[in-house]
Amino acid sequence: MSDTTQDGQVLTTQDGRPLKAALGRALFREKLRAFLLVAPLLIFILITFVAPIIDMLHRSVENSIVEETLPKTVVALQEWDSGSGDVPDEVVFAALYDDMVIAVDEKTHTRLGSRLNYEQSGISSLFRKTGRRIKRMDEGEPLKDQFLAADKKWGDVTTWQVLKQFSPSYTGGYFLNAFDAKLGPEGVELKPADERIYLFLFGRTLFLSTVITLSCLLLGYPIAFLLAALPLRTSNLLMILVLLPFWTSLLVRTSAWKVLLQQQGVINDFLVWINLISDSGRLVMINNQTGTIIAMTHILLPFMILPLYSVMKTISPTYVRAAKSLGANDWTAFWRVYFPQSVPGIGAGAVLVFILSIGYYITPELVGGTSGIFISNRIAYHISSSLNWGLAAALGTLLLVAVLVLFVVYDKIVGIDNVKLG
Instruction: Name the site residues for other proteins (rule: CB under 8 A).
Output: 48, 52, 56, 107-108, 110-111, 113-114, 117-118, 121-125, 128, 194-197, 200-201, 204, 262-265, 287, 359, 361, 365, 369-371, 373, 376, 378-381, 383-389, 392-393, 396
Q: Which of 250, 252, 253, 284 is nearest to 267 (CA)?
A: 284
- 3-class DSSP assignment, residue 34: helix
The residue (of 94 and 250) whose beta carbon lies closer to other proteins is 250
The residue (of 47 and 243) whose beta carbon lies closer to other proteins is 47
Shortest gap between Cβ of 385 and other proteins (angstroms)?
Answer: 7
d(CA 368, CA 295): 9
The residue (of 164 and 204) whose beta carbon lies closer to other proteins is 204
The residue (of 9 and 370) whose beta carbon lies closer to other proteins is 370
Contact in structure between 299 and 363 (CB atoms under 8 Å):
yes
Shortest gap between Cβ of 217 and other proteins (angstroms)?
Answer: 24
d(CA 136, CA 24): 76
The residue (of 90 and 105) whose beta carbon lies closer to other proteins is 105
d(CA 178, CA 408): 23
Shortest gap between Cβ of 157 and other proteins (angstroms)?
Answer: 18
Shortest gap between Cβ of 373 and other proteins (angstroms)?
Answer: 8
Quote the distance between the C-alpha of residue 122 and its chain's center: 30
35 CB-near residues (< 8 Å, 6+ apart): none
**Of how many residues is the chain composed?**
422
The residue (of 3 and 195) whose beta carbon lies closer to other proteins is 195
The residue (of 116 and 312) whose beta carbon lies closer to other proteins is 116
Shortest gap between Cβ of 301 and other proteins (angstroms)?
Answer: 20
Shortest gap between Cβ of 224 and other proteins (angstroms)?
Answer: 27
Contact in structure between 75 and 99 (CB atoms under 8 Å):
no
DSSP code per residue over 254-313? HHHHHHHHSTTSHHHHHHHHTTSS-GGG----SSSHHHHHHHHHHHHHHHHHHHHHHHHH
Shortest gap between Cβ of 357 and other proteins (angstroms)?
Answer: 12
